[in-house]
Chain A
């Protein structure tokens, strides 16, 4: 039997929009996740400004308010890493549900299952960032950026989120359980500490300083800091953008490979 049928068409944009709506609905139905993702950086912000800020600020040659300005960019990045940790968890939860097997047997653009998660997480990150930056302003963060620099920061943060989310979608798929998925992105949470996020790298022992200066989060944090506090960008911006491009590409290819592999 041979069926003459019209050529099969794929609709990746339309399917991705459908999957995005699905993911946004799931976030709304499971708000405790979003609350946890926003809560963590807020708690860190308050801890670092009010508990440690006086002493750390003195070390920087200022006080608590100087430290609020220093630490805010790291907390902003931490907001992004918290969101992508959530992405890994929700991707892993998704993979354990039968509905993903259903999607695989349907004639849809397969990548839309993943892009739905990615775009949903970017939107979630923008929401979280708005709240966290709002709280930072309330506790003494005083950025000097103008409108253009704020727009540049927003655009840059979207790129960073996009990169880390693709990596996280892969981590979520590689995890066999939801617990693993919440643990695997832990290095992303820790990396800002092992960089210039909380204290300047030149205060660290040599080996650690070497690592801190060359790991991707340092140029990312320095770029946010430069944009918001009107410091010179130096070569931080292009280093950060190169890292983002590399992480996006790796995460995307890895995710796609994982999604297309067979499970039994």
Chain B
């Protein structure tokens, strides 16, 4: 079952084509990360899918409703936390949440309970009575997301939710997102941090030039590009020399007494490698497996355009 499905989405601002036939689908209850450089069209995609902008062409369904024909039904099912915090800075954290509770038409008793629960969940109890203007970046972002959750949306759009946050606030935000998914909501996340997509997303899509240039799990994307290797470090020069003669196609680093052996990192390849070394009784101090990270993937995929 798809929470979001998009086909042939196009959007231009004047002559500037931002989305050039975007296709994607997101399963219910999963995290989908849209990865792209600044200006790749991530925010435009979120704005279209959250009814803020209309597309020039293409079809999109969100939470089972057609975006163009039933925008209100879509709005009733989604929550959006944008790149720039959408809190009322003159109101306190608690008042912001109560405002959302009122706009979601929660009952008298329910609104207080929901707000108290969210303040607690997002660690904002101490700051509840202070104006949001006085909040730190991380607190504002937490309040922002808490406001999005008041109406218990089934699909949540998070547009660069951790941009500008310090590492600790970023980890807190990640944990919050994981808890949300555990609760069954669908999350559409945009980010320029590959680590973030790697940490959170079930599926990752790379947006470049208004189109998806790759889509899959983090592992699938990493497998698409070369660069995996095993690094062996030896106790002495003799070990290094012997291993080099046995393994052949390796590159050596004399200073570090290390070898870099191309490998896909699979168990079978590792076993074969270890067997070869064992057979000649070569002493290995340290073995580490390096798979290409998403940075490699991202650069490889988006560079194509430059070299093309």
Contacts and interface: CB of A to CB of B under 8 A. Distances in A.
A14 B52 contact: no
Given A26-B91, A108-B103, A262-B54, A3 B75 contact: no
Interface of A: 1-3, 5, 8, 11, 14-15, 18, 21-22, 25-26, 29-30, 97-99, 101-108, 262-264
Given A1-B1, A104-B52, A98 B80 contact: no
Interface stretch (B81-89, B172-180, B211-219): B81-89
B49 to A, nearest CB: 10
Contacts of A15: 103
B84 A98 contact: yes
Contact of A3 (B65, B84, B88, B104): B65
Contact of A105 (B1, B50, B104): B50
B67 interface: no
B51 A98 contact: no
B141 to A, nearest CB: 11
Interface in B77-105: 78-80, 82, 84-91, 95, 99, 102-105
B288 to A, nearest CB: 44
| B interface, size bucket | 35 or more
B80 A1 contact: no
B85 A98 contact: yes
Given A8-B73, A98-B84, A98-B86, 19 more contacts: A1-B1, A1-B64, A3-B65, A11-B105, A14-B105, A22-B91, A25-B90, A25-B95, A26-B90, A101-B86, A102-B80, A102-B147, A103-B103, A105-B52, A106-B75, A107-B72, A264-B13, A264-B44, A264-B47
B2 A29 contact: no
A106 B103 contact: yes
A113 to B, nearest CB: 10
A58 B1 CA distance: 84
Nearest to A96: B84
A251 B101 CA distance: 30
A130 to B, nearest CB: 24
A22 B88 contact: yes
5 contacts: A8-B76, A22-B88, A26-B90, A98-B87, A106-B75
A165 to B, nearest CB: 20
Nearest to B80: A105
Nearest to B54: A262
A26 B61 contact: no
Contacts of B76: 5, 8, 107
A98 B104 CA distance: 18
Given A8-B72, A264-B47, A99 B87 contact: yes
Contacts of A5: 73, 76
A22 B47 contact: no
Interface in B235-288: none
Given A1-B61, A18-B103, A99 B88 contact: yes
A262 B86 contact: no
B63 interface: yes
Contacts of B80: 101-102, 105
Given A1-B1, A25-B95, A98-B85, A105 B44 contact: no
Interface string B2-17: 1000000000010000
A98 B148 CA distance: 13
A15 B104 CA distance: 9
Nearest to A94: B88
Q: Which 9 A-B pairs have the closest CB atoms?
A: A98-B86, A102-B86, A107-B76, A3-B64, A107-B75, A18-B102, A29-B90, A1-B64, A105-B80
